[in-house]
Amino acid sequence: MRTLIFRSTAPYLTALMMLYSVFVLLRGHNEPGGGFIGGLIAASALAIYGIACGVSPVRRAIRYHPMAIAGFGLFVAAIAGLFSPFVGVPYMTGLWIYPVVFGMELKLSTTLIFDIGVYLVVLGSITSIALALEERERD
């Protein structure tokens, strides 16, 4: 499966898919999609890169162990709910603020923080599974 064409195009395809996954993540808290789908797209991109170039380049690219990324994502998702009790609403209730930056109104929410956490959990766990399967295939 490691043809010259596949190895040559995989890094560009991976970069494009990672960029699209961030787009889906940021679009998701207002529209369908979000952290889960964005994380799946990002994990698929890393799996394609792993199939094309091997597991070692993927591990060097992500720098941290995939399960550490998943654990950090779980922590971020749990932190997103801690803002609600300070406002007097139940845990994990979505809170929104609308700051104006350079004349544009930004929609920031605890939902986005939760989506980022879910993105990292899915990215880390699916990447860990894909890399383990890829390493096992080499044995």
Q: Is 100 exposed, middle or buried (0-12, 13-18, 19+ CB in 10 A)?
A: exposed
User: Do 42 and 84 contact (CB within 8 A), yes or no?
Assistant: no
What distance in Å separates the CA atoms of residue 11 and residue 18, rounded to the nearest whole number?
10
pLDDT at 139: 57
What distance in Å separates the CA atoms of residue 5 and residue 74, rounded to the nearest whole number?
37
2-16 average pLDDT score: 92
Q: Is the pLDDT of residue 40 over 80?
A: yes
User: Do 96 and 106 contact (CB within 8 A), yes or no?
Assistant: no
pLDDT at 136: 80
Spell out the SS3 assignment of 60-103.
HHHCCCHHHHHHHHHHHHHHHHHHHHHHCCCCCCCCEECCEECC
User: Do 39 and 122 contact (CB within 8 A), yes or no?
Assistant: yes
pTM of the predicted protein model:
0.88
What distance in Å separates the CA atoms of residue 41 and residue 4, rounded to the nearest whole number?
24
> Percent of the chain at pLDDT above 90?
60
Q: What pairs with residue 109 in β-bridges?
A: 96
pLDDT at 30: 65
